[in-house]
Amino acid sequence: MHQSLTTAQKLRNLGHTLLLIGSMALLLALISELLFGEGIWPWVFAGVFLAMSTLPDISPRWILRLYQARRIYPNTAPELTRLMEHIGRRAGVSPIPDLYWIPSSTSNAFSVGSGNNAAIALTDGLLRLLNTRELAGVLAHEVSHIVNHDMRLMNLADLISRLTHMLSMIGILLAIISLPLAVLGKAPVPLSGLLLLIVAPTLSALLQLGLSRVREFQADLSAVRITGDPEGLASALGKIEQRQTSLWQQILLPGYRDPQPSLLRTHPDTAERVRRLLALRDHTNPTAQPFLGRARNPRLPGTFRVVRAPRHRLFFRTWH
């Protein structure tokens, strides 16, 4: 793997992360000063960071219970758990994140928790779709989210975005209440401030989505550093993308699964992710060999099966 290329991508991702989270913080500071006067924004940020450092993390098991997830133990899926342990050791994670199986035919994986209390969930559809080499890339990607503390970073961004939205709504409400006084010229409402109150929630949400996409790029890069096999993850992404659309949709409606503009997506475009991954290929990479020789799908016991079609929950956005 070309060291200069990976370093350049890492620095670019870090720069984008700092720029996006800094822009969100600046918006919150401007809104705070507009409503409460100068000198208030340090106290706002002190409260945000205090809340983030003192509030306990939500238990992964509580979240996974919403998905009806089932723990995968070494005696039930030895190949899969050995693969997870191998990737965890390469990533320097201790303890190794627990694996969970979700009874859904969709192809998806996600990580929850952080540090000593983390877990990775894999859907039944994903396990049946990917071979060992591809699954190694997906597991390394999710482990990278844990190592990079992406869940905590995104929680911070979400908190800043929610505060910006709440303060903007309060400011707009106060502007509406003071409208009669503004008409009489006794309490003029600055047009620039009112415009900021209107656009700040949307701008903050867009910055948060952009941050999510940057962290996905960084997780891809970190996954390659763990496995040394960018083609494995690229192949997995291609399979997942293809599985999400039927054949007639791929032919007649190629953009059916991605109707939103790129600015409104939480994940980057798959083609761009694959392009960046394949740019990291190196023909002499010995670390990829453990995954190249085992191409079959990891097997789960017969008791791990989807007994009914998945159903989407409206409020928790989970499968049932």
Q: Give me the active site residues, please.
A: 142
Give the pair of three-digit tokens for residue 169: 């709504």
CA distance 49 to 51: 5
Q: How far is CA 291 from the centre of its chain?
A: 25
What span, in angstroms and rounded, lies between the C-alpha atoms of 195 and 114?
Answer: 39
What are the structure tokens assigned to 218, written together?
């960084």
158 Cβ contact partners less than 8 Å away, ≥ 6 residues apart:
208
Contact 4, 202 (CB under 8 A): no
- Within 8 A by CB and 6+ apart from 189, the residues are 175, 178, 179, 182
Report the distance separating Cα 195 and Cα 217, nearest Å: 33
Q: Vertex 92, ends 76 and 9: CA angle to 5°? A: 115
* Distance separating the N- and C-terminal Cα atoms of the chain: 41
Closest CA to 159 of 48, 41, 55, 316: 48
How far is it, in rounded angstroms, from Cα 246 to Cα 280? 30
